[in-house]
Amino acid sequence: MNLSPDIIKLVFGLKVNQYRHEQNLSFAELSKKSGLSTSYLNEIEKGKKYPKTDKIMQLAAALEVSYDELVSLKLGNQLSSVSELITSNFLSEVPFDFFGIDPKSLLEMLVNAPAKVSAFIRTVVGIGRNYNLSVEQFYFAVLRSYQELHQNSFPDLEQAAENFYQEYGIKENTKLDEFYLTNLLAEKFGVSIDFYSEKEHPNLAHIRSIFQRERNTLMLNAKTSSKQRAFTILREIGFLYLNLKERPVTSSWVEVKSFDEVLNNFKASYFAGSVLIPQPILKKEMHHFFSQKTWQPELVNHMLDKFEVTPETLLHRMSNIMKDQFGISDFYFFRFEATQGKKDFRLTKEMHMSERKDIYASQSEHYCRRWLAFQTIEEVNFQLEKETYSQPIVGVQRSTYHGSGRNFLLITMARPLTIQSDKIESVSVGFELNDNLKRKIMFHDDPSITDRIVNHTCERCGIFDCQERVSAPTLLQKERHLNDMKAAIAQLG
């Protein structure tokens, strides 16, 4: 077991505290028996001091335990929950310092934890194990919370993108394509570009890029599009320009070694998006788009062409500036994938910028088929079958969540993926239709926009005449049955 010196000091302090209470000794009484000052004993129990050998021997004698027992890292039954946290590497895996929490303070709170708190800790750990929650999944959940906490807007990274333009003399009208960025990466950062093919490396077919440290080379999948290559090269520049040391070597996660890797990957990706789509230009384009009295999907395609980015990059960048530049803070972003010709819809990314989550990952339930995301995926499917697909499908919908009265204006884009040629991706950004939004997005009440009543999943939905339903409302029926039983029990009284 590899523990930091700080944790070792804290464990020692916990044991002294435990044995002192078992002997019913006050600080003053233990001070008298051991010959150590009360202030020094207090520092020991707080994990701030680790005494020398002679003083440990004095403490052991005063507490009536052996020297070996006192310095052992094993904790008794009373502190079993703390012991589990330490031996499971929980303290090193969870980025407490990221949230301003000192791990030592956390353990201090658990020293005198009642049985209920210990049971709660075991329950949380048990839930994670039962649902196969890996450390990687936890890291991604932490990152998602971090993005949501900041409304997915990070001024320091926006400023870094502006500084990058100035530092390297990049003009506003410079075409940041893969060729320009390849030269920049090589000349300014000493990293070369190479390619690999699916035929040569079939196991790497679904990975966009791999960074080879020993060769200082960024390997790109030959199947990636020019837009994807530009973003990937800029993300690599982001790692170097922002001086982000801990970073993944692959574009898709194969192995997650630390939370810093996850966070730094996000920062480099955000930087890449900010450079490709500068905030001032995007703000101008969005203001023009939002000022239209009617829905104009060609303006979305215009932005795609102007910035030469993928639909996900464009909508994600929109979400970056919604709060600071337009004062819109209640929105969500999500991404679905499906296999061509099938309806195996999978939620692969989500962010919620409002307190309530109307869409969230569901492992075993069936998402509402009334969502625009699925309709656009099916439209791409249809066009692929007819061999008429030419550009991403852009759609809009006003969605009202059944039973809640919450209304959203939803903009969605769908397209077939380049590398995974049998997959279709749909990305959406949904804005809550409140008074603030209605003042900012003029086409919100365009009568040509479809209105749909939607829900989360079929299993929880009370729209019983729904033609799109693919599963019975089992969870809703279970909830209603439970409420009926509660009402019947209340009537007995």
Higher pLDDT, 210 or 8: 210
The answer to whether residue 475 sits within a structural domain is yes
User: Quick one: 158 and 171 in the same domain?
Assistant: yes
Last residue of a domain, one of 260, 276, 292: 276
pLDDT in tens, 297-340: 999 999 999 999 999 999 999 999 999 999 998 888 999 999 99
The answer to whether residue 209 sits within a structural domain is yes
- SS (HEC) of 337-398: EEECCCCCCEEEEEEECCCCCCCCCCCCCCECCCCHHHHHHHHHHHHHHHCCCCCCEEEEEE
Region of residue 133 (left: phi > 0; alpha: psi -120 to 50; beta: else): beta
Range of the domain at 443: 279-481
C-alpha neighbours within 13 Å on the C-beta side of residue 480: 9
Question: Lowest-pLDDT range, 78-82, 194-198, 224-228, 278-282?
Answer: 78-82
The answer to whether residue 145 sits within a structural domain is no
**Domain count for the chain:** 3
User: Quick one: 107 and 226 in the same domain?
Assistant: no
Confidence class of residue 126 from pLDDT cuts 50, 70 and 90? low
User: Quick one: 23 and 60 in the same domain?
Assistant: yes
d(CA 274, CA 108): 42
Q: Contact at 8 Å (CB) between 283 and 325?
A: yes
Asked if the model's pLDDT at residue 117 lies above 70, the reply is no
d(CA 397, CA 36): 73
pLDDT in tens, 25-60: 999 999 999 999 999 998 888 778 899 999 999 999
Question: Lowest-pLDDT range, 382-386, 390-394, 403-407?
Answer: 403-407
pLDDT in tens, 262-274: 999 999 999 999 9
429: β partners: 333, 411
Look up the CATH number of the domain holding residue 107.
Answer: 1.10.260.40
The answer to whether residue 195 sits within a structural domain is yes
User: Quick one: 230 and 102 in the same domain?
Assistant: no
pTM to 2 decimal places: 0.79
User: Quick one: 22 and 36 in the same domain?
Assistant: yes
The answer to whether residue 487 sits within a structural domain is no
Helices 80-87 & 103-111, crossing angle to 10 degrees? 160
Last residue of a domain, one of 133, 161, 181: 133
- Closest by CA position to 93, among listed 260, 248, 254: 260
The answer to whether residue 94 sits within a structural domain is yes
pLDDT in tens, 133-179: 566 777 888 888 888 888 889 999 999 999 999 999 998 888 899 99
**Per-residue model confidence (pLDDT) at position 302:** 95
User: Quick one: 316 and 441 in the same domain?
Assistant: yes
User: Quick one: 320 and 412 in the same domain?
Assistant: yes
Last residue of a domain, one of 77, 101, 133: 133
d(CA 459, CA 493): 33
**Per-residue model confidence (pLDDT) at position 83:** 62
**What's the full length of the chain, in residues?**
493
Q: Contact at 8 Å (CB) between 462 and 430?
A: no
The answer to whether residue 345 sits within a structural domain is yes
250: β partners: 210
User: Quick one: 224 and 320 in the same domain?
Assistant: no
User: Quick one: 283 and 310 in the same domain?
Assistant: yes
User: Quick one: 95 and 210 in the same domain?
Assistant: no
User: Quick one: 315 and 460 in the same domain?
Assistant: yes
Look up the CATH number of the domain holding residue 266.
Answer: 1.10.10.2910
User: Quick one: 173 and 266 in the same domain?
Assistant: yes
The answer to whether residue 348 sits within a structural domain is yes
